[in-house]
Amino acid sequence: MLGWALTFLVIALIAALFGFGGIAGASAGIAQILFVVFLVLFVVSMIARAVRGKSVS
């Protein structure tokens, strides 16, 4: 998930560099949504692991 977010961020940066504002805005929005989803799933995963009592190593 984080890889996809970084991919869309790179696409947005390249599109902005070449002047494609619509594509850059859309890619940046998708990257932002994917990053938030990644963070939420990561936090839920860490909480579930802590509740089950397994160490994070």
pLDDT tens for 2-19 read 888 889 889 999 999 999
Give the start-to-end residue ranges of the domains of the chain. 2-52
pLDDT score, position 38: 94
What is the C-alpha separation between 4 and 30, in angstroms, rounded? 9
pLDDT tens for 23-42 read 899 999 999 999 999 999 99
